[in-house]
Structure 1
């Protein structure tokens, strides 16, 4: 099948390329765009209490206004506010309200907004929309920050804006700079490394152009699937799509180009060499893509809508990349022929490849030692994974220089840390009858008595009196671990227990949402990872026609996952002293290290199988496979790891953790697992590794080639097609 696909693309290149261009343009024009959403409750199933709170609030209190941000005032000298300062606070708040910024209803302050210690004054910035995630709110907050500067002239005050909309604004602006840096660094790395590897400007530039075209098609198909098929996908997926497409796209292009160059060096004509390259590595690329696709589709089993939305989108992107690797890439290089390598002539001669041949010889001659050594390295690193602590306080991951972060610290000097975003407790009558006012006050007292609660506001009832709302200020920041555990544990337990007979209590708010997300993430780890592992094992079994090989390959993958997570824990928790790591980090490692990194294992074992099918002894098969695959794996891994490594330059702990984990994991997968552990274990098992498939393959009489060339042996009576 792959030979037929390759033959069509190679011999009808213009038709193939035209088809891709037409598809990209049509989808760019006609496909619906991806919508944006950042509402955490949209990502949780309806049985979670925080989601039920949101639904109840919508029905019982259909308000059109809500706090969007908080202006935090203090003296420039850090002292207590004077009477003149307090009058200036009211004047500045009135001036901000008078600007009439879009989606901002009013800016409210007063004597009660001054902290007990007299150092901090607040002004609530109230939005005209009940949607806390409205796209316009951060823009209006940015305008208000600028509006405040002239209003503060002549006063002794300084102002910082924090709260949900302000945090969103700072996060968007800081991540926007990071996205641009990632894209620039990615393009630069790919171009430079491809230029170094192939010494050809065409080969350095063409993969970038091809992947850009693939990105257009993928985005269009994802948008169409979201519109027509009910698939949830939002615009936030674009950034991760870029990294995935450049990662797997570069991998697959390199898999094909290295084999294409190998055939050219064996003396084949360009078109025949390209057709044979597709025939040889087509199954490998398809299997690698299949493993990544099923790993991403396993996210459909997630309880979190965010993960369920991400899975199919990424799967579609990888599927498009697979088709492009087997059709568009051969078509483009068919038109160029050997001129693609211009001006270099290195493709005409066999390189010495000292590193690749050295690794191949080492692995084939010392398989036991290398297997033991690589296993010990992975196992030791994996020990650190047991100390992994999930961190849900995303504000602590942000740069401490951001205004919203600094203003929140200032607010906490005078008020409870939870003042900016209190927990919301609702009490509703089960039969719809009005609630007893005395019981409401008693219930409030029990909420206020919970340890960790700063204060509980008096009940606010809906029009028919069947639902009461309490604003409960916690002593901890909304996304801090203590606040999350308090809202989801003692506060909920106390509210449920204290609810008067005939009523039901529900606890929501940011802290409660994060508690439910934490529970959902734990569920997903226990379900998604095993299912994805079994699916990848099935694909490996079909590729290798073996039951044994997929088992030890997945054990190696599990070790690599643990080693990656463990090394990240040691660096950030133990060395840098972080309270915990990004709670999504295991999923990120799973997506980029386990799923995409498995490509290198598949490439290696596929080449091993190819050599074994020819009847080569296991030892020689290992040497040849490693020597021939090492350059491809090294180049692909360095490009992908370098792309993520750029994230470590960001002034954001979350991005630094992500960058290190993925970059380190990819390099570990490539240079320890794929080049050392997998081939040595295969060598030790011998033909048993391919049971029940190729373990009884007949031996060939080989005429050894020069080992330094890393070439495959030639057999009597036949010319082995390279």
Structure 2
């Protein structure tokens, strides 16, 4: 099949190139616009309590004041606020109110209750139209509040800053844009430089970048936008940065798979077109199988409980498929029309077969002592995996995805120290009648008392007519609950679980309670993640094993291949936990990190296993013994795996330049995981186990030939005519 594909592309190279250019333009031109989702609660299904609480709030308090922005005032000299400062704050609030900023519904005056206990800070709360939350108007309102509020406060001796959800969304957009640029530029330079050095060529370094970012990336983005609109999926702000790495990383990997084999065939004396066709024929199955395994692993996230992953998974799957198609058709077509000397210019020794001394030595070591190699490489993975048992998840997504000097983060930190730690985003408990009867004052007070008695609760505001926390029909009350700990902390999440238990138990007869707020959202995200770990991971593993089994025609090999990938996952999580929790002293790792490690270490790490075992099978089919095949596979496939792994790991490491906790953790874990996948799993663990198992690794088929009529796939010239055995 792939030999036929290679010959078709070679014969119709210019047509293939033209078709891709036309398709890319058409897909990009017809793609709808997509807005990123920044509200964590929007990613949860409707059956979770935090979402039900939000829906009840909308019904019972349709015009309730929900602060989307917080205006923080303090003196420039750090002293207590004075009566003159109060006048200045009122002037700022009135000035902003009179401007009638679009989407801003109400700005509350600064009251005595809105001042910190030490008298140094004061708050004004701003309501912004919730229906605009996913529109540019929402963040534009926060930007306008910042700019105009600072001008109004100028000369008053007051420092004016804006925080809250709208400001956080604005800062997150800015940080995301900067991160995308850093990641893209860093990755581009790394790929061009490293691939250029590997092939000692300028054009070879540029080609994977052009193919990935000029064709594959726009095509993938256009198809993803169509899928998001068609299936009403959510889009996360971090999708774009991850997409860049996936397309460029996978595209570079597949280009290397093809280019190494293309150069290898040229060195045997084949002409350019024949070499391209045979390169596709030899590595096409490995690229297709690898892309299939990666795409399946990504696509299975459609089963996730969290909207950010139900969109991210299919998006990445689409990107991988698009990139694989480019690698199997457009890349060979480009190599066909460009003279081979130009591809590898200015290198002078590219036609000379390298000795691959280091990889040959590693191969010989594995072939001679497969048991020792398996024990050492597997032992490294196991030891690192044990460190992952100490993993602890944290949930401050906004804070972790932005530098600490962003204004919304500065305001959040000051709120947590000047007021109660939970004041930055209070929780809400809704008590509602189930039979239409009004709630009595006695019932409300008794319920508030039981909530206030929960360990970890700093205070409870009982609903009343004065604070407008009772619905118009008197059947629902909104209890504002201040927690002692920061809303996104694990302590606060534990507390909200206790609050839920207390609220459900204390609800009077013919009534029910629902706990809402951002901490309640995090509690439900935690529950959803546990669901995903127990459902998504096993299904993905089974599907990947099925693909491996079909490719290798074996029942045995997929089991130990997936076992090695599983150890790689555990080892990556363990190393990241060890560095950030045990050494750096972070309270935990971001809750989504295990999913991302799964996405890239399990999915993309499978690429390298597939490539090396495909080469191992090819060597075995040539008549070599299992140990000789392992030795030759490392000698010839090792440079490709090492180059691809090093480039992808270096690309992921560029995330660490973004300057925030989330991308520091993400960059390290993914880079380290790819290093494990390429240099431990694929280079040592998989070949050594295959050598130990021998012919049994291919049971019940005879993928290695094994004397049962197997054999290598015949090479062909550019016209599809089989070559004489001497040239194979």
2:424 is aligned, of 420, 423, 426, to 420
**How do 1:288-367 and structure 2 match up within 5 A?**
288-338=290-340, 339-367=342-370
Aligned counterpart, 2:270:
268
2:437 is aligned, of 420, 429, 433, to 433
2:63 and 2:440 map into 1 onto residues whose CA distance is: 23
1:381 is aligned, of 378, 384, 392, to 384
Q: Cα distance, 1:278 vs. partner?
A: 0.7
Aligned counterpart, 1:545:
553
1:559 and 1:411 map into 2 onto residues whose CA distance is: 43
Aligned counterpart, 1:124:
125
Verify the 8 A CA contact 1:600 1:669 in the aligned structure 2.
Answer: yes
Verify the 8 A CA contact 2:115 2:122 in the aligned structure 1.
Answer: yes
Q: Does 1:575 align with 2:558?
A: no
Verify the 8 A CA contact 1:271 1:337 in the aligned structure 2.
Answer: no
Q: Cα distance, 1:130 vs. partner?
A: 5.1
Q: Does 1:654 align with 2:656?
A: no
User: With structure 1 as the length reference, what TM-score do the two structures score?
Assistant: 0.94
Aligned counterpart, 2:594:
586
Decide whether aligned partners of structure 1 residues 153 and 420 sit closer, same or farther in structure 2, where only a CA change above 3 A counts.
same
Verify the 8 A CA contact 1:66 1:130 in the aligned structure 2.
Answer: no
Verify the 8 A CA contact 1:395 1:479 in the aligned structure 2.
Answer: no
Q: Cα distance, 1:412 vs. partner?
A: 2.9
Verify the 8 A CA contact 2:429 2:480 in the aligned structure 1.
Answer: yes
Verify the 8 A CA contact 1:600 1:633 in the aligned structure 2.
Answer: yes
1:720 and 1:66 map into 2 onto residues whose CA distance is: 78
SS in 1 for 2:459: strand
Verify the 8 A CA contact 1:641 1:662 in the aligned structure 2.
Answer: yes
Verify the 8 A CA contact 1:68 1:132 in the aligned structure 2.
Answer: no
Structure 1 residue runs of 4+, over 4 Å off? Answer: 130-134, 229-236
Decide whether aligned partners of structure 1 residues 626 and 481 sit closer, same or farther in structure 2, where only a CA change above 3 A counts.
same
Q: Does 1:482 align with 2:498?
A: no
1:632 and 1:82 map into 2 onto residues whose CA distance is: 69
1:390 and 1:153 map into 2 onto residues whose CA distance is: 42
Verify the 8 A CA contact 2:493 2:522 in the aligned structure 1.
Answer: yes
Decide whether aligned partners of structure 1 residues 101 and 232 sit closer, same or farther in structure 2, where only a CA change above 3 A counts.
closer
1:215 and 1:721 map into 2 onto residues whose CA distance is: 38
Verify the 8 A CA contact 1:423 1:512 in the aligned structure 2.
Answer: yes
Describe the superposition over 1:502-550 as per-residue Cα deviations: whole angstroms up to 9, x where unpaired.
0110001100000000110011112111111111111111111111111
Verify the 8 A CA contact 2:43 2:234 in the aligned structure 1.
Answer: no
2:91 and 2:212 map into 1 onto residues whose CA distance is: 55
Verify the 8 A CA contact 1:80 1:118 in the aligned structure 2.
Answer: yes
2:561 and 2:625 map into 1 onto residues whose CA distance is: 21
SS in 1 for 2:62: coil
Q: Cα distance, 1:470 vs. partner?
A: 2.1
Q: Cα distance, 1:65 vs. partner?
A: 5.4
RMSD over aligned CA atoms reads 2.1
1:638 is aligned, of 646, 652, 655, to 646
Aligned counterpart, 2:471:
462
Q: Cα distance, 1:286 vs. partner?
A: 0.8
Verify the 8 A CA contact 2:38 2:236 in the aligned structure 1.
Answer: no
2:375 is aligned, of 367, 372, 376, to 372
Q: Cα distance, 1:583 vs. partner?
A: 0.8
Aligned counterpart, 1:708:
none
1:557 and 1:129 map into 2 onto residues whose CA distance is: 44
**How do 1:40-79 and structure 2 match up within 5 A?**
40-63=40-63, 66-79=66-79
Q: Cα distance, 1:321 vs. partner?
A: 1.5
SS in 2 for 1:504: strand
1:664 and 1:383 map into 2 onto residues whose CA distance is: 16
Aligned counterpart, 1:719:
725
Decide whether aligned partners of structure 1 residues 293 and 129 sit closer, same or farther in structure 2, where only a CA change above 3 A counts.
closer
Aligned counterpart, 1:402:
406
Aligned counterpart, 2:141:
140
1:344 and 1:117 map into 2 onto residues whose CA distance is: 70
Q: Cα distance, 1:87 vs. partner?
A: 2.3
1:393 and 1:342 map into 2 onto residues whose CA distance is: 50
1:473 is aligned, of 470, 473, 482, to 482
Describe the superposition over 1:435-480 as per-residue Cα deviations: whole angstroms up to 9, x where unpaired.
3343223222322332322332232222222222222222222212
1:503 is aligned, of 479, 486, 511, to 511
Verify the 8 A CA contact 2:38 2:237 in the aligned structure 1.
Answer: no
SS in 1 for 2:428: strand
Verify the 8 A CA contact 2:150 2:161 in the aligned structure 1.
Answer: no
1:162 and 1:600 map into 2 onto residues whose CA distance is: 46
2:511 and 2:518 map into 1 onto residues whose CA distance is: 23
Decide whether aligned partners of structure 1 residues 495 and 131 sit closer, same or farther in structure 2, where only a CA change above 3 A counts.
farther
Verify the 8 A CA contact 1:200 1:344 in the aligned structure 2.
Answer: yes
**How do 1:204-219 and structure 2 match up within 5 A?**
204-212=205-213, 213-219=215-221
1:580 and 1:610 map into 2 onto residues whose CA distance is: 45
SS in 1 for 2:305: coil
- Judge which range, 518-527 or 202-211, deviates more: 202-211
Q: Does 1:175 align with 2:184?
A: no
1:324 and 1:504 map into 2 onto residues whose CA distance is: 56
User: How many equivalent pairs are there?
Assistant: 706
- Structure 2: 5+ residue runs without aligned partners? 464-468, 712-722
1:445 and 1:229 map into 2 onto residues whose CA distance is: 46
2:403 and 2:634 map into 1 onto residues whose CA distance is: 44
Q: Cα distance, 1:559 vs. partner?
A: 1.0
Verify the 8 A CA contact 1:616 1:699 in the aligned structure 2.
Answer: no
SS in 2 for 1:451: coil
Verify the 8 A CA contact 1:421 1:510 in the aligned structure 2.
Answer: yes
Describe the superposition over 1:400-459 as per-residue Cα deviations: whole angstroms up to 9, x where unpaired.
322222222322333212223211111122123333343223222322332322332232
Verify the 8 A CA contact 2:374 2:685 in the aligned structure 1.
Answer: yes
Describe the superposition over 1:367-409 as per-residue Cα deviations: whole angstroms up to 9, x where unpaired.
2222211111111111111000001133553433222222223
User: With structure 2 as the length reference, what TM-score do the two structures score?
Assistant: 0.93
SS in 1 for 2:191: helix
**How do 1:214-293 and structure 2 match up within 5 A?**
214-233=216-235, 237-293=239-295
SS in 2 for 1:36: coil
2:661 and 2:39 map into 1 onto residues whose CA distance is: 23
Q: Cα distance, 1:192 vs. partner?
A: 0.8
Aligned counterpart, 2:720:
none
Aligned counterpart, 1:37:
37
- Structure 1: 5+ residue runs without aligned partners? 703-716
